[in-house]
Structure 1
Amino acid sequence: MKNSLTRKIMPYTFIFPALLLLLMFSIIPIIISLVINFTNLDITGLGNWQAVKFIGLDNFINLFNDNLFLQSVVNTLFYVVFGVPAVIVISLAVAIMINFGQNKFFKLMRLVFYTPSITNAVAVAVIWTFMYNPSTGLINTVLNSLGFGSVGWLTDQHVAKISLIILAVWKAIGLNMLIFLAALQGVPKDLYEAAELDGASWWQQTRHITIPSLKFSIFFVSVTTLIGWFQFFDEPFVMTKGGPLGSTNSVALFVYQNGFQQSNFGYAASASFVMFTAIIIATLIQFKIQRRQQNG
């Protein structure tokens, strides 16, 4: 009886540390954030809990009447719509091209493309800020030498978002490329040999063998990339502070501005809850599409 009970309890002892960390640093903060959503908690309330009042849905009502928040939502959707496909397509293309080469040059390319992913995001953003400088930056200097005019990479409302996307895509390619490369190693070589015997071209092999074999990897990268772009923060925070005129502000940066700069914790928690809900919905949609493709 004792041995049977020990065998039942033993598996839970192995996962208990992970569950404890999950509870302390994920589940409990989420619950606290849900409670804060419905209060007027600010810096005064941290010193005097009696000043904290339950205000119902007022934070959410004010959010959807806040032009700055609505603008940050539109900006975040812009980042997601253009950034996610760009990361997936480019990293997949790079992985396929590198996978076909076996010499030292292609091994070096793996390092070249992966290095930005492990480089400090703030340091990279600072360097790119200098490169984007309208008067002395490297990019405009090259454009001017070629006879083109200068571009306000971070000062033009319409160009600034694209500038941040270019940097974020460049930085995200490496990690996703490695995921695709690992998946490509598992594709049976016999399939390519049989396709060559049948006269299939490189593009036909890629279309009918490589990409279908990477369905799960593409799905995984799509989900993780989508979540990352919904939480887009580092680049606009370091490079533009959400400007010019809020044109690069994201929901994550909006939460930071209201929570840590203006100390409106209840209001910021409500904005973060909206972002959290959007991420959950988008992820569930992707899971549903993946399930349909598997069943179809």
Structure 2
Amino acid sequence: MAALRRSGLGWVFVLPFLLVFAVFHLGPLLAGLGMSVTDMRNTDVASPLAVDPVGVQNYLRLADDEVMRRAALNTAVFVVTALPLTLALGLAAAVALNSGIARLPAAFFRLGYYLPHVTSIIGVAVAWKFLLEPEAGLVNRLLELIGVQGPAWLQNPATALPSIVVMTAWRSFGFDMVVFLAALQGIPRELYEAAHMDGAGRWQRFTSVTVPQLRPVILFCSVYSTSGFLQFLEEPLIMTGGGPLNSTVSASLAIFRQFGVGNYGYASAAATVLFTVIVALAVLQLRVGRAR
């Protein structure tokens, strides 16, 4: 009886979260899945039950849509390049802060590195858009000081997506730094002392002690960042509008545009595919990470 009472009390505390999750997450997810197999458009909102089912036609259209294919490729390139760059910057900053910087400067640097992560992405994107202006941007002005003619970063298909990758890594690595720093401070010093006594150098101690001890944290940051990067939307929307020549259009931006023009069924199918990819990659990363 006591165990049943404790279980009931636990459900009382969990119930508010379950209600919020059902209304704002599970409900829209199921609604989107249902719309993805219909021809629903914005004109059908008043009578959603009157739409016609189309089966998997919306999903088949995705394979023939050139913009969607380009968006999928851009998103894949973005994740593959931004993820390791963000993790590397976060780990490097954490190791530097953990290596003996005085307490007050360390707190200052932690705040400075983490601040972009909590700053509005719209504000950050607008600021970087001005920084990368070909004529008056600060980046090209600095390059002129060393005799280099900077390109039109966001107007050139070859440099637009890499520019967004760099901006995203700069904005995001502060979160990874904070997590890595907390984990580094939890590694027993005895492990480093034993490795030093065995003749291991600084790099060997890093690869043989630090990295293995950080594997669970690296896995967490990898899953967290991958899920976020697969949904990147505001960066290309604000900085390039998906151009030039669709070189920066992302999967989320392409879906956003389809919703904007009223193709709810088609957009829901694309969103369902993106959601499936996010879940599948998260499960794959967790399985591989846990196995190692």
The 10-residue stretch of structure 1 (204-213 or 187-196) with the greater mean CA deviation from structure 2: 187-196
The 10-residue stretch of structure 1 (95-104 or 232-241) with the greater mean CA deviation from structure 2: 95-104
Query: For the residues of structure 2 that align with 1:65 and 1:194, how far apart are their CA atoms?
Result: 59
Query: For the residues of structure 2 that align with 1:27 and 1:36, how far apart are their CA atoms?
Result: 14
Query: Could you give the per-residue CA deviations for residues 63-102 of structure 1, whole angstroms, max 9, x where no partner exists?
Result: 1100000000000000011111111111111111111124
Alignment partner, residue 291 of structure 2: 292
The 10-residue stretch of structure 1 (247-256 or 94-103) with the greater mean CA deviation from structure 2: 94-103
With structure 2 as the length reference, what TM-score do the two structures score? 0.96
Superposed, 1:51-70 pairs within 5 Å as 51-70=50-69
Letter paired with 1:141: R
Does the 8 Å CA contact 1:240/1:248 hold for their aligned counterparts? yes
Query: Could you give the per-residue CA deviations for residues 244-279 of structure 1, whole angstroms, max 9, x where no partner exists?
Result: 1111000001111111x2111111111111111111
Does the 8 Å CA contact 1:40/1:52 hold for their aligned counterparts? yes
Alignment partner, residue 257 of structure 2: 257
SS at match of 1:35: helix
Deviation at 1:51, TM superposition (A): 4.8
Answer yes or no: is 1:233 the counterpart of 2:233.
Answer: yes
Deviation at 1:150, TM superposition (A): 2.6
In structure 1, stretches of 5+ residues that fail to align are: none
Alignment partner, residue 25 of structure 1: 24
Q: Percent of pairs identical after alignment? A: 35
Query: For the residues of structure 2 that align with 1:247 and 1:44, how far apart are their CA atoms?
Result: 31
Query: Could you give the per-residue CA deviations for residues 156-195 of structure 1, whole angstroms, max 9, x where no partner exists?
Result: 0011000000000000010110000111111011222233
Query: For the residues of structure 2 that align with 1:168 and 1:5, how far apart are their CA atoms?
Result: 49
Alignment partner, residue 86 of structure 1: 85
Query: Could you give the per-residue CA deviations for residues 138-164 of structure 1, whole angstroms, max 9, x where no partner exists?
Result: 111121232111311000001100000
The 10-residue stretch of structure 1 (105-114 or 3-12) with the greater mean CA deviation from structure 2: 3-12
Superposed, 1:63-212 pairs within 5 Å as 63-103=62-102, 104-212=104-212
Alignment partner, residue 280 of structure 2: 281
With structure 1 as the length reference, what TM-score do the two structures score? 0.94
Query: For the residues of structure 1 that align with 2:38 and 2:234, how far apart are their CA atoms?
Result: 28
The 10-residue stretch of structure 1 (154-163 or 54-63) with the greater mean CA deviation from structure 2: 54-63
Does the 8 Å CA contact 1:117/1:171 hold for their aligned counterparts? yes
Query: For the residues of structure 2 that align with 1:209 and 1:123, how far apart are their CA atoms?
Result: 39
Structure 1 segments of 4 or more deviating over 4 A? none
Query: For the residues of structure 1 that align with 2:200 and 2:48, how far apart are their CA atoms?
Result: 71
The 10-residue stretch of structure 1 (49-58 or 232-241) with the greater mean CA deviation from structure 2: 49-58
Does the 8 Å CA contact 1:75/1:248 hold for their aligned counterparts? yes
Letter paired with 2:113: F
Deviation at 1:50, TM superposition (A): 5.7
Query: For the residues of structure 1 that align with 2:122 and 2:156, how far apart are their CA atoms?
Result: 22
Query: For the residues of structure 2 that align with 1:167 and 1:35, how far apart are their CA atoms?
Result: 36
Measured on the aligned residues, the alpha-carbon RMSD in Å equals 1.4
Letter paired with 2:258: N
In structure 2, stretches of 5+ residues that fail to align are: none
Does the 8 Å CA contact 1:44/1:51 hold for their aligned counterparts? no
Aligned length: 291
